[in-house]
Amino acid sequence: MKAYVMIKIRAGEIKEAVGLLRRIKGVAEAHMTFGPYDAVAVVDAADIAEIGAITALEIQPIPGVEQTLTCLAVDV
């Protein structure tokens, strides 16, 4: 299962936060973005529970992270 986690980060802390995102097991990619969100992380996990755990326990505690929006990817 794949999810895109859109992340708002405090100004001045984006580069460091993206570096920490890239170290998280289950985060396949992490990039700084321009627009309403400051970064996006691509999370690969076995199920929705694991995506929730990665988001709540690994991504949200990163210093500077203010808000996340998790978008589940679906194949049709």
pLDDT digits (tens, 9 = 90+) for 45-72: 999 999 999 999 999 999 999 999 999 9
Phi, psi torsion values for 46, nearest 5 degrees: -70, -35
pLDDT attached to residue 69: 98
User: Angle at the Cα of 13 (from 33 to 43), degrees rounded to 5?
Assistant: 50
Fold adopted by 2-72: Alpha-Beta Plaits (3.30.70)
Mean pLDDT score of the chain, rounded to an integer?
97
pLDDT attached to residue 76: 87
Could you report the per-residue pLDDT of 16-46, keeping only the tens digit for each? 999 999 999 999 999 999 999 999 999 999 9
For the chain, give every domain's residue range. Answer: 2-72
